[in-house]
Structure 1
């Protein structure tokens, strides 16, 4: 049983748990690296740390990609597909395949594309709603003016 299993059982968001696992692994290795006496040992420990941190990092990237893709799909925004060149080879500009988990997750470029599309869609929706706010304000003002006019006429009559 992995010593970080207890962290995964806590009732916290998955991204928080994975970030904690990464932090604890790096903290453990920092202690061992500080005690290492040979440069080869330091290098080996650093490589081991990168390898061990790789799994939760890939899980975190996959989780965050799934969250933003879910949001994009709910808003009916097209998500980037895997890029293929003329020979059928995968260019992987928008996607990365994890070397340890095999999960596919958005690259920084792909994540930026989806995020900008979501922002653009939200802005367009907000602009459509703001159009109605102008009319609603005008009607509210008109109702207030008519109410005031009726109150003045009613008190004089």
Structure 2
């Protein structure tokens, strides 16, 4: 639970940072265009924006990949094959592609569903046994009095 909260907090922070970078760069680009500064400065601002956004997106992809892999390892699920991995442009880390993320999330959901169904089957059986024992005890106590 704590890991999930930390993951969501980090993900939200990355999204806030991304929005702040976009806003700051758009403001700087708009100012540069209004002042009719040279085209090279405007292109440089666009490149800076692209680099910072790519860095944040790479960090996000790495964060999501690590989270899904930790869940998959805990559930003892196989990880996707090499076709579902890519090398991150900026950081150089290997991260899951969108298809790999989809595949791993689907297998995690299926595994959790099957475990939940097994637990619910046991819970139903135990509830039935407890109900039967309660009935027998009630009948036995009724015979005594």
Q: Does 1:97 align with 2:93?
A: no
By relative contact order (CA 8 Å, sep 6+), the higher-ranking structure is 2
Q: Secondary structure at the match of 1:30?
A: helix
| Count of residues in correspondence between the two structures | 134
Could you tell me how far 1:113 is from its partner in structure 2? Answer: 0.5
Per-residue CA deviation, residues 109-135 of structure 1 (Å, 9 max, x unaligned), is: 000000011111111111211221221
**Is this contact kept in 2: 1:59–1:103, CA < 8 A?**
no
TM-score (norm 1): 0.74
Are 1:53 and 2:49 counterparts?
no
Instruction: Give yes or no for contact 1:97–1:103 (8 Å, CA) kept in 2.
Output: yes
1 or 2, which has the higher helix percentage?
2
Q: What 5-or-longer segments of structure 2 have no aligned partner? A: 1-7
Find the counterpart in structure 2 of residue 117 from structure 1: 107
Q: Which runs of 5+ in 1 are unaligned?
A: 1-11, 84-93
Corresponding residue for residue 21 of structure 1: 17
Tell me the distance in 2 between the aligned counterparts of 1:149 and 1:43. 86
- 1:26–1:49 CA contact under 8 A, matched in 2: yes
From 135, 144, 152, the counterpart of 2:125: 135
Report the more deviating stretch, 47-56 or 116-125. Answer: 47-56
Provide the secondary structure at the position in 2 that maps to 1:105: strand
Query: What's the RMSD between the two structures over aligned residues?
Result: 2.3
